[in-house]
Structure 1
Amino acid sequence: MTLIPNQRHLFDIPDDVAYLNVATMGPLPLAASEAGQRGVARKLRPWTIPDTDFFEDTKKLRPLLAQLIGADETGIAFVPSVSYGLATAARNLPLAKGQKILLLADQFPSNVYTWREQARATGAVIETVSVTGNVSLSDALIDAITPDIGLVACPHVRWTDGARIDLAAVGARCREVGAALVLDLTQSCGAMVCDVAAVRPDFVVAAGYKWLLGPYATGFLYAAPHRREGTPLEQNWITREGASDFSRLIDYTDAYAPGAERYDMGERSNFALLPALHASVQQILDWGVANIEATLAHQNRTLAIALEKRGLATGPESGRGAHYLGALLPETAPADLTARLKAENIYVSKRGNRLRITPHLFTTQTDIARFLAALDRHLG
C-alpha cells in the first residue's frame, strides 16, 4: 500500500473551505463534473445519440463497480438509491413467520424502514443489536446471529459513529445458521476494502454520492450468484434479452439479460449521471481503494490524537472505519456547533451526541489546523 499525496488540485474546493463532511456528501472531482457536462450536452441534440449509447455507459461502468468490491461484473445492477436496492433484496429474500431480522441500533433509516415493512408483510420479527459494556458492536452483532435469525442487514461502518463491522466474520456466522446477509456499503465503498468473495453476502447496495465521489441518485446493487434469478422491482424493456435490437422490441420476451442486469432500474442509461459516476469510480480505482484506506487512516490517526487531547473521544482505531471519526461531544458543547463552524467555512456534521468528521484526500494540514483552532474557541 502507498500513501497518496494530497489531491486537492483534482477538486473545486477553495483554499478557505475546510470540507470534512464526505460522509454527508462527497464532492465531485473536476473530471467527473466535466464528464457529466459532456454527457448532458448530448441531450441538446438528441438526433446525434446513437442507439448504442443506451448500452455503452452501463457496459463500461459495470466492471468498474464490480472491481470496487472484488465482484464479477455479471453480479452488478444499477440502482438510483439504497432504498431501491434494499427493496430489491427484500423482494427476493423470503422469510418465515417468526423468523428474526437482525439490525443494528442507530442504523441508517433506509436500512430500517425496508425491513420493518418486510417484517409486517411476512410475520418476521425485528431484533436490534446494541452494545453493552466493553463489547464491540461487531462482536455484539456476531453473538446475536442465532439459528432463529433469517436475515442480517448491516453496514461495514455505522453512519453515526464510524463503528466498524467485521463483515467476513459476520458472513461466516450467517452461513453457519443459514441466515441471509444484506450489506449497505454506502459509508465505506471507495474508502475501505471489501471483498465479497470473502464475505459472501446475498446482496450488497451502495449509494454513489458519498465515498464514491459520484453524483446524487446513482448507486449499484450486487447480487450473489444464487440470487441472480429473482424478481426485479420493475419490468422494463432494457433489461430483456435482445433489447439492443430496437427493431425487435415488440417481439416481447420473458427472458432477461444474463446475471443481475434484470435488477437494473428503469431509464438506467442516464446520459449525464453515468459518465460522471464513471469518472469518479475510475479515479478511485486509479488511486486504489487500499491506498485510500491507508492514507485516510494515517491522516485520521493524527487527528484522533488531537481530538482525544481535547477530551473528544473517538474510540480505538481497530473498532472504527479508518476513514471515519465520530468524536463524542461534551454535554457543554453548544447546540449550534456545526452552524458556528459552517460560518467559518468549516464543514462537519453532528449525529446524535457525536461530531462526525470525515476528511478525504483533498484535506490539507491547514484545513485540520483551522478546524482544531475553531473547536478550541467554541468548546473552550
Structure 2
Amino acid sequence: MRPEEFRALFPALRSTVWLDTPGAPPGPQPVVDTLRDALDAWSGGGFDWLEWDNAVAEARTLFARLIGVDPATVSAVGSLGEAAATVAASIPRCRVVVPAQEFRSNLFPWTAGHDVVAVPPRHGITRLEDLIDALDEDTGLLAVSEVTSREGQRLDLPALRAATDRVGARLFVNVTQSLGALSFDWAAVRPDYLAVHGYKWLLCPRGAAWLVTRPNLVGELRPLVPGWRSTGPPYGYFAGSLRLAPDAGRCDASPAWLSWMGARAALRLMLSLDARLVERHCLALATQLIERAQDIGLRHPNDGGLSQIVVLQMDEADTAAARLRHGGIRATTLGDRVRFGFHYFNNQEDVDAVVRLLSR
C-alpha cells in the first residue's frame, strides 16, 4: 500500500495535520467500521460473544506474524504497565536498571519487589553508554524503550543486548513508541521480553497490548490476576483447580472485547504494509523537519539515534503548541519542547505546514 492510499483511510486527515501519534493517532476507517458494526450488533442483540472472545486468539496470531515470533510466546494483556508488572512479579528479586526518564509504565512496575537503579540523563538525554556502564554482574534485568517518548531517541538495542549478555542480565524492551512506524529485527535484538501497547503506532483501540517472552522463560510467568483464561483453551468457567496453560497465554487478561476486535482489524491493516518502506518514509520526514527547524533557529535536543519522533526545544512551547493547534496541526507539549511524530500517513505537506507556522 502506498502512503497516499494509507492516508486516505484516515478521515481526520482531511482537516488536520496529525503529528500527535506519540500520544494517540486518529482512527483508521477499517478499524472504526469494525467497532461500529460491533456496537450495532450489541445494540440490536445480534452479536455472538463467543466470536467476540475469539478476536483475542486471532489478534495474537496476527501480532506474532507481525513481529516474527511463535504465538505460543505471546500473552494478551491490557497495557504496557500490566506487561511490565507481570514480568516483575514473575522473576526473582534482582537489580533492575532503567532510565530515570523512562515512561512510568516501564518504570514504576519494577519498583515492586526489585532494587531499581534509575540511570540519570546527561544534558537532558538518556545516554546509551550510561545505561551500559550501569550494568554489572549483580544486574538481573535492563528495562528500556526502543524509542524514548520524551526525547524521541532510538536506542541501539543490539548494543544493549550485547551488554546485558556480557553481565548475564535479561533485557525487557518496550516498543510502544516504535512498532508500527519502525521495523523490528527480532534476531538482532533477541529480547527476553518485549511489550507493546497497540493504541499508538499499531493503530489499535486502547486496551489491547502484548507481552512476548522467550520460549525458555515462558514457564516462569505468573499471571497477576489468575482467572478463567489462565488455564488456556479449552476454557472452563466453573470450579476446578488452577493449572496454568503451558504457553504464554497463562498470563492473558480477561479481554475487553471491543478493544480486541479493533486490534484484530488494525493488525490486518498493518500487515498490508511493508515495514521497511514505512520506516524509510517516517524517518525521511523526521529528518526533513529536524533540518528545516534548525534552519529557523529551533533546537533538536537529541544527539542519539534518529526515530520517527521529533522533539523541538523552544521558548514558550505552550504558546507554540497552541498556535499549531489553532492552525490545524496536532502535536504535544512536553515542558520546554514540542513533540511531533510521523507515521506512514504523514507527508511532505505536513512538514511544510509545521515549518511555515513555526517560522512566524
Instruction: Give the TM-score of the pair, scaled to structure 1.
Output: 0.86
Residue type of the alignment partner of 2:248: A
1:166 aligns with 2:156: yes
Q: Which residue of 2 aligns with 1:319?
A: 305
Corresponding residue number in structure 2 for 1:195? 185
Tell me, yes or no, if structure 1 residue 344 matches structure 2 residue 339: no
Aligned residues: 359
How far did 1:262 drift?
0.6
- Relative to 1, partners in 2 of residues 1:139 and 1:4: Cα closer, same or farther, differing over 3 Å? farther
Which residue of 1 is the match for residue 36 of structure 2? 37
The one-character-per-residue Cα deviations of 1:69-92 (angstroms, maximum 9, x if unpaired) are: 222111111111111111101001
1:360 is the counterpart of 2:319 = no
Name which of 73, 76, 81 aligns with 1:75.
Answer: 73
For residues 303-346 of structure 1, give each alpha carbon's deviation from its aligned partner in whole angstroms, at most 9, with x where no partner exists. 2211110122336786221x1111222xx335422122212221
Rounded to whole Å, the distance in 2 between the matches of 1:251 and 1:113 is: 35
1:204-230 deviations in Å (ceiling 9; x for gaps): 211111111111122111111122122
Query: How many Å separate the matches in 1 of 2:7 and 2:215?
Result: 39
1:70/1:197 contact within 8 Å kept = no
1:300 aligns with 2:290: no
1:110 and 2:105 matched? yes
Q: CA deviation at 1:150?
A: 2.0
The match for 1:288 among 274, 287, 308 is 274
Going from structure 1 to structure 2, the CA distance change for 1:346 and 1:201 (only over 3 Å counts) comes to: same
Name the aligned partner's letter for residue 196 of structure 2: A
My pick for the range that moved more, 360-369 or 226-235, is: 360-369
CA contact (8 A) 2:98 2:116 kept: no
Q: Which stretch has the larger CA shift, 27-36 or 2-11?
A: 2-11
* Matched ranges for 1:124-203 at <5 A: 124-131=115-122, 137-203=127-193
Say if 1:37 and 1:272, in contact at 8 Å, map to a contact too: no
CA distance in 2, matches of 1:25, 1:164: 19
**2:88 counterpart SS class:** helix
Higher relative contact order (CA 8 A, sep 6+): 1
- What's 2:252 paired with? 264
Letter in 1 for 2:276: A
AA matched with 2:203: L
TM-score w.r.t. the length of structure 2 is: 0.91
Where 2:118 maps in the other structure, the secondary structure is: strand
Partner of 1:27: 26
Which segments of 5 or more consecutive residues in structure 1 lack a partner in the other structure? none
Contact 2:76 2:211 in 1 (8 A): yes
TM-superposed deviation, 1:20: 0.8
AA at the equivalent of 2:267: V
Equivalent residues of 2:193, 2:213 under 8 A apart? yes
Shift of residue 242, structure 1, vs aligned partner: 4.4
Query: Could you tell me the percent identity over the aligned residues?
Result: 26
Q: 1:95 aligns with which of 93, 96, 99?
A: 93
- Structure 1, residues 131-184: CA drift from partner, whole Å, max 9, x if none? 369x97223322322222222110001001111111122122212212122111
Are 2:313 and 1:328 aligned? yes
Counterpart amino acid of residue 202 in structure 2: L
- Letter in structure 2 aligned against 1:165: L
**Cα offsets for 1:56-81 (capped at 9, x unmatched):** 21221112111232221111111111
Q: Is the 8 A contact 1:3 1:291 kept in 2?
A: no
Q: Secondary structure at the match of 2:14?
A: coil
Counterpart amino acid of residue 337 in structure 1? A
Q: Tell me, in whole angstroms, the C-alpha distance in 1 between the residues paired with 2:78 and 2:40.
A: 21
Deviations 1:335-368 (A, max 9, x none): 4221222122211112233221112222233332
Cα pair 2:19 2:340 within 8 Å, conserved: yes
The aligned counterpart of 1:17 is 16
Q: CA RMSD in A?
A: 2.5
- SS in structure 1 at match of 2:194: strand
Shift of 1:129: 4.1
* Structure 2 alignment gaps of length 5 or more: none
Match of 1:375 in 2: 358
2:7 touches 2:13 (CA, 8 Å); kept in 1? Answer: no
C-alpha contact (below 8 Å) 1:103/1:127 kept by paired residues: yes
Task: Report the Cα distance in structure 1 between the residues aligned to 2:322 and 2:227, rounded to whole angstroms.
Answer: 44
Q: Contact 1:186/1:208 (CA < 8 Å) preserved in 2?
A: yes
The CA distance in 2 between the partners of 1:348 and 1:295, in whole Å, is: 19
Given the superposition, is the C-alpha separation of residues 340 and 243 from structure 1 closer, same or farther in structure 2, using an over 3 Å criterion? same
Residue 198 of structure 1 and its aligned partner are, at CA, apart by: 2.8
Quick one: distance in 2 between partners of 1:215 and 1:250?
Answer: 30
- Structure 1 window deviating more from structure 2 (180-189 vs 343-352): it is 343-352
Inter-CA distance 240–347: structure 2 relative to 1 (3 Å threshold): same
